Amino acid sequence: MTDKKTHVALLFGGDSSEHDVSKRSAHNIYDAMDKDKYDVSLFLVSKNGIILDDASSHRVFDGEDEAAVLQDVTAKLDMNNPLAPIINLDSTHNIDVFFPIIHGNLGEDGTIQGLLRLLHKPYVGSGIMASSMAYDKDITKKMLDIAGVRNTKYVLVTPANAKNWNYDKLSKKLNSSIIFIKPAKQGSSIGIHQIENQTEYEQGIRDAFQYDDKILVEEAIEGPEEVEISILGNEKPKASKLGAIKVPENDEFYTYENKFVDASEVKFTIPVKLPNGVSEEITEMALKAFTALELKGMARIDFLVSKDFKPYLGEINTLPGFTNISLYPQLWEASGISYTELIDQLIELAFEEFKKQEKVLHDFKPLNQNDQEKVYKAK
């Protein structure tokens, strides 16, 4: 037995439009962590990609202006050194596990996971490949189709083929007078537009291209109810109860403002009651998607349920929000796992996955020259 605390590093911020949301998520996780069990270090990733050290990150955590703190940090760095943006990670040898909560770019696209893999450190959440696939809605949909998980029909619009498409062609192709425009690699409803005519299409596609060069144009589901489910685990994931979201009547969908600015008009139903078999179908679809994409640790998966109660998988979030109104922890609370217990389990899952990967590397025996020659001749 040892009384040594586990040293956890919270990585938050990032260069995406979800920078401030990530800061709020990190605050909530930090406040909920059992300080008798964990020592916690903070690493804030600035909007220009510089990682602040623990002391500087705490200054921002405590309310100082981030830009002013960043100026102090960069003044001490040799910016001619290509490693300057990450140089403050040189203290990570004392850290037992990382908890990245960077939403969007850098955090959910596999970038930070690759860095932590190079540092040879355990981390919460999915690995490099799984994170990258799940972050790209186009790749995700292709994987879902292979796995047989129902999702919305779409057309991929890029700068190379954009001239071939307009509202009328897309509406006919998708058999839907209402269509949705979504950047392939973006979150928190950024760059999403509901479209019903050519003018709206031109405006929406122009805005979406600000965030990505791959744009999904999706069919609209008739009379949809937005339902969400939380997944927890590695090889044997478990699912939470389901929650439903009802947005204000004047809003066309669950917007960034609904999620993070003012949720006072949004109604959450946790758990939600659906007709016989629908909840079970959503749970099965979510677990199948989690496994097909080889996700680890956690994910919040969003569904659209049509008016005839047919569920469609909408989006997978590998590092979901942990703000005061985020559904990932709320759904687990309703399922009997407290916020603090949830963090404990996520950290345990990180160690579990790391040990498995280490065992694979340890057990791997490269072929000697004779074996290599046999393999080559066999080809």
Residue 316, helix vs strand vs coil = strand
Q: For residue 29, which of 85, 98, 112 has the smallest C-alpha distance?
A: 98
Report the alpha-carbon distance of residue 267 to residue 244 in Å, rounded. 8
147 CB contacts (<8 Å, ≥6 apart)?
288, 289, 292
Residue 344 near residue 180 (C-beta atoms within 8 A): no
Residue 164 assigned ligand-binding role: no
End-to-end CA distance of the chain: 53
Report the alpha-carbon distance of residue 379 to residue 375 in Å, rounded. 6
Q: For residue 135, which of 186, 191, 99, 207 has the smallest C-alpha distance?
A: 186
Report the alpha-carbon distance of residue 247 to residue 225 in Å, rounded. 10
Residue 48 assigned ligand-binding role: no
According to DSSP H, which parts of the chain are helical? Answer: 19-32, 54-61, 66-75, 111-118, 128-135, 137-147, 167-174, 198-208, 256, 278-292, 327-334, 339-363, 369-378
Catalytic status, residue 18 = yes
Residue 376: CB atoms within 10 Å:
8
Residue 54, helix vs strand vs coil = helix
Report the alpha-carbon distance of residue 251 to residue 198 in Å, rounded. 20
Catalytic residue (one of 17, 41, 171, 188)? 188
Q: For residue 169, which of 217, 132, 215 has the smallest C-alpha distance?
A: 217
Q: For residue 102, which of 21, 183, 48 has the smallest C-alpha distance?
A: 21
What is the C-alpha R_g of the chain?
22
Residue 92 near residue 9 (C-beta atoms within 8 A): yes
Catalytic residue (one of 132, 230, 326, 335)? 326
Catalytic status, residue 326 = yes
Residue 324 near residue 27 (C-beta atoms within 8 A): no
Residue 284 assigned ligand-binding role: no
As annotated, the active-site residues are: 18, 188, 326
| Residues making up the binding site for Mg(2+) | 302, 315, 317
| Residues making up the binding site | 302, 315, 317
